[in-house]
Amino acid sequence: MSIKQALKHPADRSVCHIRYGKYQNREKQEGKNMTTKHMSFEQGPIRPPNEAKSLLLRFTRNCPWNQCLFCPVYKGKKFSLRTVEEIRDDIQAAHDIAEDIKALSFRLGCGGMIDNEVISAVFNDPSLTDSYRSVAFWLYYGTGACFLQDADNLIMKTRDMVEAIRFLKEKFPELARITTYSRSRTVIRKSVESLRQIREAGLNRVHIGMESGYDPVLKFMKKGVTAAQHIEAGRKLIEAGMELSEYIMPGLGGRNMWREHAVETARVLNKINPHFIRLRSLRIPPRVPLYKKLQEGTFTMQTDDMTVEEIRVFIEHLDGITSTIVSDHIMNLLEDVHGKMPEDKERMLQVIDEYQNLSDLDRQIYRVGRRGGTYSSVRDMQRDPVTYQKIRHLVEKIKKEEGPDGLEAFIKELADKYV
């Protein structure tokens, strides 16, 4: 039975039909056509990796800055605020869809649980919008988390943000975590009191794209913010009671500034002590402005091995903090460089040692396996000797036929397919 068929079942005309009736009447009075409009809601293009199972709702569109040289996400797209009414309509739609899916679960005899059968019914009904699929997955995973898109939501007026988040909590009281992206430049324009109001409304975590704590790198990359402003913003968010997640970008200093980038980024983070430090290594697809600098030779990319050394220097310089380090981005070579400071610092450095102590050939095998999506840890190579031999054979074949440059080009192609 499809979700539409289930909802048509005459013996089971549920609350959701009655509610829709009321909703439609209200819409009619307001002269709006709600037939399909309210069965979908808007979503933006990205979310942090750890928000993959969160409900995604769009509070603003695109990025108000949009100048960072390495960033492909919103180029060519104009930033816009959304009205509180638009956001409320989207939240209402997400809520109605969630209720419909739960009603479907009851009709299928699943007792309100969103299990494989319900997911299958939703995904096999082509008449349903992507919003249904998105909400169904969120209910299936049961994370109780919501991520507010797009790049810089704290640019909203405090009272609008508070109103929108309160409405979100009213419609989804089960939400335990509401998070968003924002820019340090935007955060420092808000008072701690304003941030606290937003926190009290329900926003409990902010992801900041710090990228670097070294001013020449920030300037070169047109990040539009200084290291001092990153520190000020981070401290303000923590003072307001938010959880803070700082993204940093290994590789962003290139070959000229890699060491200063690593050391100064650690210094800035030592002054903030964020809850999370997340690594997202640089890749340069042709569609970003940095690609032109790469072609001109005014920026030279770090190799994988040099980036690993850079992360070593970065971790060595972290001091006096209690942050959790996370390496959950597919761009990162070593996913198991993660842990809590300070107790896991030595273990994280050991993970780097394990990679650096491999033979040249094994490092190449690992890189091919990692960039091809097979490995996430150096230890994976020992766990599966058959796969190891297959990759080894491939690496040796490419080197024999195309030389070391051919192998590097092959690995680059594998890695770039994720950007």
Instruction: Work out which of 1, 34, 39, 73 binds ligand SF4, going by CB under 6 A.
Output: 73
CB of 272 or CB of 398, closer to ligand SF4: 272
Are the beta carbons of 320 and 270 closer than 8 angstroms? Answer: yes
> What is the smallest separation between the CB atom of 46 and ligand SF4, expressed in angstroms?
8
CB of 68 or CB of 352, closer to ligand SF4: 68
Instruction: Work out which of 3, 63, 121, 331 binds ligand SF4, going by CB under 6 A.
Output: 63
CB of 66 or CB of 143, closer to ligand SF4: 66
The Cβ-side half-sphere exposure at 178, using a 13 Å CA radius, reads 23
In this chain, which stretch among 5-13, 36-44, 69-77, 192-200 interacts with ligand SF4, using CB under 6 A? 69-77
Q: How far apart are CA 133 and CA 265, in angstroms?
A: 39
Element (H, E) at 100: helix 84-107
What is the token pair recorded at 362? 């094994």
Number of residues lying near ligand SF4 (CB under 6 A) = 11
404-412 contacts: CB < 8 A, separation 24 or more?
407/364, 407/368, 410/368, 411/304, 411/364, 411/367, 411/368, 411/371
Q: How far apart are CA 318 and CA 173, in angstroms?
A: 38
Among candidate residues 284, 217, 221, 183, the one with its CA nearest the CA of residue 69: 221
Q: What are phi and psi of 363, to 5 degrees?
A: -65, -40
Are the beta carbons of 129 and 90 closer than 8 angstroms? Answer: no
Q: Does 68 bind ligand SF4 (CB under 6 A)?
A: yes
In this chain, which stretch among 62-70, 109-117, 248-256, 366-374 interacts with ligand SF4, using CB under 6 A? 62-70
Q: How far apart are CA 148 and CA 205, in angstroms?
A: 10
Q: Does 151 bind ligand SF4 (CB under 6 A)?
A: yes
CB of 1 or CB of 301, closer to ligand SF4: 301
Q: Does 410 bind ligand SF4 (CB under 6 A)?
A: no
Tell which positions 200-229 bind ligand SF4, by CB under 6 A.
209
CB of 79 or CB of 276, closer to ligand SF4: 79
Q: How far apart are CA 54 and CA 145, in angstroms?
A: 5
> What is the smallest separation between the CB atom of 63 and ligand SF4, expressed in angstroms?
3
Q: How far apart are CA 75 and CA 54, in angstroms?
A: 25
What is the token pair recorded at 313? 């220097």
Q: Does 65 bind ligand SF4 (CB under 6 A)?
A: yes
Q: Does 411 bind ligand SF4 (CB under 6 A)?
A: no
> What is the smallest separation between the CB atom of 248 and ligand SF4, expressed in angstroms?
12
Place of tokens 């909590």: 169
Instruction: Work out which of 57, 71, 240, 290 binds ligand SF4, going by CB under 6 A.
Output: 71
Q: How far apart are CA 391 and CA 356, in angstroms?
A: 19
> What is the smallest separation between the CB atom of 147 and ligand SF4, expressed in angstroms?
14
CB of 144 or CB of 224, closer to ligand SF4: 224
> What is the smallest separation between the CB atom of 148 and ligand SF4, expressed in angstroms?
14
Q: Give the footprint of ligand SF4 on this chain (CB under 6 A).
A: 63, 65-68, 71, 73-74, 151, 183, 209
